[in-house]
Amino acid sequence: MSRAEFPDQKRGVGPAIYVTRPSLPPLGQFIPYLKEIWETRVLTNGGPFHQRLEQALCDYLGVPHISLFTNGTTALVTALQSLRISGEVITTPYSFVATSHSLLWNGIKPVFVDVDPVTLNLDPQKIEAAITPKTTAILAVHCYGRPCDVDAIENIADRYNLRVIYDAAHAFGVTRAGASILNHGDLSVLSFHATKVFNTFEGGAIVCPDAKTKQRIDHLKNFGFADEVTVVAPGINGKMSEFNSALGLLQLEYVDAAIAARREVYLDYRRRLADLPGVECLGNAWLEGSNFSYFPVMITDRYPLTRDGLYAHMRENAVMVRRYFYPLISEMPMYRGLASAAAGNLPVAREASARVLCLPIYEGLDAPSRQRVCDLIAEAAHA
């Protein structure tokens, strides 16, 4: 995000603190990569850096196959196309708009169900009642990087012969019981946007279970070309460039340190906010396997300001918190006419959308800045 998105900060409030800032490696270490790209003149179309990054990510994440994309949204659109999903797909209203937009791009009807009050992920207990003869898949999100109840979701999918796609935009490197969460479902989709734990400036990927699936996805992201003269599907131009792939290779060297630094920020926030009435740190019991991609708090009635009141207070003091996710996808014009978007159908998601605030978390957020964030929240509580 750019500074142009935000109003001028007030005099005397200190430097602006953003909800997330992109992780960047030392520029000097990127120069040899740029030189190699310049000398080979291979800029895109699955060049050497693209191939190296795919293999490096498979090794790092513990997954069998990965197909790189220009961004996560294009990857979502292609994932649905690759599985030939149609009809209706059950999904969450509590996510970034790309999740549901990918369905509309494929001519698929989203069917919203409510989220679990603890994880804010798709609630498996609500899925079964939403299944109709037109349902073909479940599109779930690992919200804030916290794993969905994959066992329950996949049991339902097995019973009704449904496909499962996980929007894992928040879940890079996340594990459950020591294994990658990305190996669940038919496909998992990653985002490598600049605000993510691991980024390639812009980018994304689809985690594939086997070589045949990866081949079909690779065809689809290259206009459907199987060879120079054979087009096998109505694909799109979704290829990641050599520049972005090279950046990803370099970023991968730093991602463990970035996650460790985020963990420090996460734990420090929990400690500083632990005794503040009305501010509940979400996901407190979940640390093992986390990538600490977000720090969401729930602003309850015990706090003297509403969530939006606190949001305004923080923004006025140049702390650029975000309301993830507000408004709900189901409340947006292109979705609110759906029967499943009715407010009474989604009480937990509506409550979360009205109360959750994400605090700044990134590896460069130092202790004085973290103290300032927490002091502002505490001061507003006692004003």
Q: Mean pLDDT over all residues of the chain?
A: 94
Q: What is the pLDDT of residues 330-342, one digit of tens each?
A: 999 999 999 999 9
Complete DSSP assignment for 266-279: HHHHHHHHTT-TTE
Which CB contacts under 8 angstroms, 24+ apart, belong to 346-351?
346/93, 346/112, 346/113, 346/114, 346/115, 347/114, 348/114, 348/115, 348/116, 348/117, 348/120, 348/123, 349/92, 349/93, 349/94, 349/112, 349/114, 349/115, 349/120, 351/117
Closest CA to 303 of 244, 383, 223, 202: 383
Task: Kindly report which listed range (11-20, 128-137, 349-358) carries the lowest average pLDDT score.
Answer: 11-20
Q: How far is CA 179 from CA 14, 169, 174, 201, 276, in A?
A: 42, 17, 8, 27, 35
Average pLDDT over residues 200-229: 97
Q: What is the pLDDT of residues 64-101, one digit of tens each?
A: 999 999 999 999 999 999 999 999 999 999 999 999 99
Q: Which two tokens stand for residue 122?
A: 């798709």
CATH ID of 27-113+121-252, from 3.30.70.980, 2.40.30.20, 3.30.479.30, 3.40.640.10: 3.40.640.10
pLDDT at residue 20, rounded to an integer: 81
Q: What is the pLDDT of residues 293-325, one digit of tens each?
A: 999 999 999 999 999 999 999 999 999 999 999
pTM: 0.94
Strand-strand pairing, 88-91 and 135-141? parallel
Selected residue with higher pLDDT from 29 and 190: 190
CA distance 315 to 379: 14
Average pLDDT over residues 36-54: 93
pLDDT band at 285, cuts 50/70/90?
Answer: low
pLDDT band at 6, cuts 50/70/90?
Answer: very low
Selected residue with higher pLDDT from 29 and 350: 350
Q: What is the pLDDT of residues 126-181, one digit of tens each?
A: 999 999 999 999 999 999 999 999 999 999 999 999 999 999 999 999 999 999 99
CA distance 150 to 156: 10
**Tokens 């640390």 found at:** 287
CATH ID of 255-321+360-382, from 3.30.1370.60, 3.40.1390.10, 3.90.1150.10, 3.30.70.2200: 3.90.1150.10
Average pLDDT over residues 112-134: 97
**Cross-strand pairs, 110:** 89
Would you kindly state where each structural domain of the chain is located, as residue ranges? 27-113+121-252, 255-321+360-382
pLDDT at residue 8, rounded to an integer: 44
Between vectors from CA 351 to CA 168 and to CA 369, what angle results, nearest 5°? 65
CA distance 182 to 288: 16
pLDDT at residue 1, rounded to an integer: 35
Selected residue with higher pLDDT from 25 and 137: 137
Closest CA to 165 of 208, 130, 127: 208
pLDDT band at 123, cuts 50/70/90?
Answer: very high
pLDDT band at 19, cuts 50/70/90?
Answer: confident
pLDDT band at 15, cuts 50/70/90?
Answer: confident
